[in-house]
């Protein structure tokens, strides 16, 4: 029986079990699941699998990549054969119970694992190089097989660790960085000796943690932003309460109490926005869909902001189609989109300016535009304005800052309606936010 695939699968399971026990266990749950598959197939191989005949598959033999490579075990045949990959990935189990079905099934499974698996056999040549390893190192697996590792992956740290594993016969796990054509990648690499792969055989398991690190950075930034946004009003409230406690005259007391109320409102708005966003992002928000007149929602939103616009000496106008425009949407959420966009426009439009809401039909799509004659957004910032807490110009925004979440919420709600939102802007001339919503949205009531 093919001795390499079961060996690779079993060793991969051991490594992955170790990784799952690490503090980043959650990350590796998927890996565990995938490896469980590999082990299931291994058990099948051992218990019910049909022994492979010793003869070489002529198609696979023809595909051995390099004449200089040492005689490869039969695994090389399955690894390089396109038929093997098809059989393994598509029909593991019943249909592959042919002459070499057992090995082919495992080859496909190892290839489908979400972690990079590289097996070095006799003479340090690559016997197994799965698709994930190909993605991580930017090499096609076909090119890698039969070659030395350094010819395929030039990473001195990995090279050193593999050499140490062969020399000392000990397993090793380390975080390393790898330079690619783009940015550098962060990898967690486990190397372990594996005599079943031949003299000096080594199994290398590689997880790409680049995305995890990026997400960790986003999370850190988010926590820091929320803390900052909450601390600012809290500090103000604390100072005012302390002043009140030390005794002030009636007029000052009234003023402080009014400021405290205002700061408290700001904190409540922030917390509510955060909860909204959390609900939207977790997909727990249920849209109560119905036929909604977009014009009506716009008129209501504009009416609600009129007093504020007048106070800021901004002209607020609506341009709505005469024949009416209906969409399938959640009225309250659509209203929140309009409110957030208007709030944003009014905050950035100086006295004497205009804010205009316009809706129109564009084929199967309803378009809602909110345009202002405000200060505009630099082109470098345009790509980021729908991110949480992104502030175009922190110095300028001070004093009239929103929660920094309004546009992120708009984006989530619009996308939950299978729509899109974009922004155009010219510095000094104004900005235009454009929401496009399908007029006849059809999604299951629960399904977002």
Partner 1 sequence: MGRENFHRILDETQQNVLRMGSLVEEAIAKAVDALTRSDVALAEEILKADDYIDDLNVLIETNCLNLLALQQPMASDLRTIAAMLDIIIDLERIGDHACDIAQITKNLANEPLLRPPVDLPLMAAKAREMLREALDAFAHHDAEMAHKVPEKDDEVDRLYRRVFSELIQFMAKDPKAIGRASNLILVALYLERIADHSTNICERVVYMVEGVPKKLKRSVVEFNEFIAHSDEILSPHTEPAT
Q: Which residues bind partner 1 (CB under 8 A)?
A: 68, 143, 148, 150-152, 154-156, 159, 179, 181, 184
191/336 with CB nearer partner 1: 191
As given in the structure block, the two tokens for residue 245 are 């406690």
Nearer to partner 1, 153 or 338 (CB): 153
- Distance between the two ends of the chain, CA-based, in angstroms? 48
Residue 32 vs 148, nearer CB to partner 1:
148
φ/ψ of residue 125, rounded to 5:
-80, 150
Whether the CB-CB separation of 111 and 135 falls below 8 Å is answered with: no
Angle (deg, nearest 10), helices 331-347 and 406-416: 150
For residue 206, what are the CA distances in angstroms to 31, 85, 117, 270, 430?
11, 21, 6, 41, 49
**Cβ 66 to partner 1 shortest distance, Å:** 10
142/293 with CB nearer partner 1: 142
Q: Minimum CB separation from partner 1 for residue 151, in Å?
A: 5
Nearest-angstrom CA–CA distance, 229 and 225: 6
Distance CA 14, CA 10 (A): 6
Nearer to partner 1, 156 or 380 (CB): 156
Complex with partner 1: residue 163 or 367, whichever CB lies closer: 163
Query: Whose Cβ is closer to partner 1: residue 144's or residue 437's?
Result: 144
How open is the CA angle 286-291-297, to the nearest 5 degrees? 90
How far is residue 21 from each of residues 18, 24, 52, measured CA to CA in Å? Answer: 5, 8, 36
Q: How far apart are CA 352 and CA 254, in angstroms?
A: 32
| CB-CB neighbours of 196 under 10 Å | 17
Nearest CA to 347 out of 319, 390, 386, 308 is that of 308
Closest approach of partner 1 to the CB of residue 163, in Å: 10
Q: How far is the CB of 194 from partner 1 (least distance, A)?
A: 20
Q: How far is the CB of 71 from partner 1 (least distance, A)?
A: 12
Shortest Cβ 162–partner 1 spacing (Å): 11
Q: Are 154 and 133 in contact (CB under 8 A)?
A: no
In the complex, least distance from residue 152 CB atom to partner 1, rounded to whole angstroms: 8
Of the pair 176, 260, the CB lying nearest partner 1 is at: 176
Report, in Å, the least distance between residue 154 CB and partner 1: 4
């Amino acid at each position: 029986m093919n001795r390499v695939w079961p060996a690779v699968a079993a060793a991969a399971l051991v490594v992955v079990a170790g990784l799952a026990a690490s503090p980043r266990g959650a990350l590796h749950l998927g890996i565990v699941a995938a490896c469980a598959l590999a082990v299931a197939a291994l058990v099948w191989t051992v218990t019910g699998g049909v022994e492979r005949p010793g003869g070489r598959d002529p198609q696979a033999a023809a595909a051995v990549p390099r004449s200089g490579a040492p005689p490869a075990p039969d695994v090389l045949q399955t690894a390089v054969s396109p038929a093997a990959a098809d059989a393994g990935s598509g029909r593991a189990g019943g249909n592959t119970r042919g002459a070499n079905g057992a090995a082919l099934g495992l080859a496909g499974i190892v290839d489908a694992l979400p972690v990079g698996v590289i097996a070095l056999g006799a003479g340090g040549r690559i016997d197994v190089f799965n698709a994930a390893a190909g993605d991580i190192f930017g090499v096609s697996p076909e090119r890698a097989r039969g070659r030395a590792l350094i010819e395929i992956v030039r990473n001195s740290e990995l090279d050193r660790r593999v050499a140490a594993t062969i020399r000392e016969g000990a397993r090793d796990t380390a975080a390393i960085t790898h330079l690619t054509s783009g940015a550098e990648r962060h990898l967690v690499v486990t190397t372990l000796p594996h005599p079943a792969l031949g003299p000096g055989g080594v199994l290398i398991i590689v997880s790409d943690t680049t995305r995890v690190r990026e997400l960790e950075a986003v999370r850190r930034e988010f926590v820091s932003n929320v803390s900052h946004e909450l601390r600012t009003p809290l500090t103000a409230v604390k100072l005012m309460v302390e002043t009140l406690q030390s005794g002030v005259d009636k007029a000052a007391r009234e003023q402080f109490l009014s400021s405290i109320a205002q700061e408290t409102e700001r904190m409540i708005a922030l917390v509510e926005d955060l909860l909204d966003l959390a609900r939207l992002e977790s997909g727990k928000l249920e849209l109560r869909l119905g036929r909604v007149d977009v014009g009506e929602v716009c008129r209501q939103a504009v009416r609600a902001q009129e007093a504020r616009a007048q106070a800021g000496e901004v002209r607020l106008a609506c341009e709505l189609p005469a024949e009416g425009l209906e969409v399938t949407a959640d009225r309250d959420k659509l209203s929140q989109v309009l409110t957030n966009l208007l709030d944003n426009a009014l905050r950035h439009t100086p006295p004497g300016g205009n804010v205009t809401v316009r809706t129109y039909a564009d084929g199967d799509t309803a378009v809602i535009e909110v345009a202002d004659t405000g200060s505009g957004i630099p082109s470098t910032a345009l790509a980021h304005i729908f991110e949480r807490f992104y502030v175009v110009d922190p110095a300028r925004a001070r004093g009239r800052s929103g929660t920094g979440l309004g546009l992120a919420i708009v984006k989530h709600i619009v996308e939950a309606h299978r729509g899109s939102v974009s922004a155009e802007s010219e510095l000094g001339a104004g900005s235009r936010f454009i929401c496009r919503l399908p007029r006849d949205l059809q999604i299951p009531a629960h399904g977002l």
